Amino acid sequence: MEYTILRPAFDGPIVTLTISRPQALNALNSVFFNEMDDFITEISGKPELRALIITGEGKAFVAGADIAEMVNMSPDEGRIFSGRGQAVFNRLGELPFPVIAAVNGFALGGGMELAMACDFRIASSNAKFGQPEVNLGLIPGYAGTQRLPRLTNLADALYLLTTAEIIDAATALQMRLVQKVTEPENLLVEARRLAGSIAQKGPLAVRLVKEVTRRGLGMSHVAGEELERTHFGDPFGNEGAEGMKAFLEKRKPNW
Ligand code: CO8
């Protein structure tokens, strides 16, 4: 498929997606959301894929939603733009393999929300994070108010959301907003190493563990245990049998 803003690079089981609109610091506009929606549909039909890495071109990961596109919106148009972005970002959580944000620079507003919609985040030591919407008289619209307190805690979330403070990668790591910080030149190397490691695991198990963990977060503990128990049985007799047999036979599994 042809894209104007997205640059996908397929490498066996791993696809790296670079958001490439560096003249606007990769700000998210309607074209981006249309292309991202199409891209997610495209990769959903590729059973060989085991991980997606998302990064940005230039000095930004993504510097937010496109302010120039939003400036004249009516309240209802704002709601529609928000809903469209929420729906597309939610599809990342539904992909049957992990999505890793490789945050190479500014991840502000909608950019931080995109990073948070991924399954986990690694950041370059020069990355910057923030939810500066209140500077513009706005609130986040791509689920930042919902994901940030779930990933960090209520106080850290409200600190960032109300002060609009831009934090560095070390602080983001301290808040557990990112899982790992690397030197800038190692960011994609490390993202690919992690993706490659995931690609070695049982594909059904990785898909199930993502689905059960994500869905369980919205459930009661008891309902979540039931969901886990149900899917625990799924790999028996196939992928799980091969994985356990391989362990006992001291060889690599043949998935
Ligand atoms: N939207 C549109 N254009 C942008 C954006 C953006 N978010 N960010 C940067 N740009 C453009 C600049 O306008 C500039 O364009 P030009 O060269 O034509 O003047 C170009 O990118 C380069 O930017 P700067 O010259 O400003 O670069 P600096 O290195 O000086 O500064 C900053 C970098 C600090 C990142 C600065 O660009 C900045 O503050 N950007 C805006 C950050 C921001 O406020 N982001 C939040 C946006 S609101 C949002 O994301 C809400 C999400 C939910 C929406 C829900 C739908 C309704």
For 143-173, what is each residue's pLDDT tens digit? 999 999 999 999 999 999 999 999 999 999 9
Cβ(6)–Cβ(18) below 8 Å: yes
Phi, psi dihedral angles at 220 (to 5 degrees)? -70, 160
* CA contacts within 13 A on the Cβ side of 81: 21
**25 alpha carbon to ligand 1 midpoint, in Å?**
7
Which regions of the chain are under pLDDT 70? none
Taking only the tens place, the pLDDT of each residue in 111-124 is: 999 999 999 999 99
* CA contacts within 13 A on the Cβ side of 129: 33
**38 alpha carbon to ligand 1 midpoint, in Å?**
25
Q: What is the DSSP letter of 24?
A: G
Ligand 1 atom nearest the C-alpha of 60 is: 35
Taking only the tens place, the pLDDT of each residue in 221-244 is: 999 999 999 999 999 999 999 999
Cβ(84)–Cβ(104) below 8 Å: no
Look up 165 and say whether it is catalytic: no
Find the Cα–Cα–Cα–Cα dihedral 81, 124, 160, 109, rounded to 10°.
-10
pTM: 0.97
Alpha helices in the chain (DSSP H): 30-44, 67-70, 75-94, 110-117, 144-151, 154-163, 169-174, 187-199, 203-217, 221-232, 239-248
Tokens found for residue 140: 């986040």
Which residues does ligand 1 sit against, CB inside 6 Å? 24-25, 27, 63-68, 70, 78, 81-82, 85, 106, 108-110, 132-133, 136, 138, 140-142
Ligand 1 atom nearest the C-alpha of 108 is: 45
* 128 burial type by CB count under 10 A (0-12 exposed, 13-18 middle, 19+ buried): buried
Domain range annotation of the chain: 6-199, 203-248
For the chain, give percent helix, strand, coil, nearest 5.
50, 15, 30
Q: What's at 13, amino acid-wise?
A: P
pLDDT of residue 117: 98
**175 alpha carbon to ligand 1 midpoint, in Å?**
24
pLDDT of residue 1: 80
Active-site residue (options: 35, 42, 57, 113): 113
CATH among 3.90.226.10, 2.60.40.740, 3.40.50.1820, 3.65.10.10 for 6-199: 3.90.226.10
The SS3 assignment for 20 reads coil
Q: Whose C-alpha lies nearest to ligand 1, atom 2?
A: 66
Look up 226 and say whether it is catalytic: no
**188 alpha carbon to ligand 1 midpoint, in Å?**
24
Buried b (16+ CB within 10 A) or exposed e, 177-197: bbeebbeeeebbebbbebbee
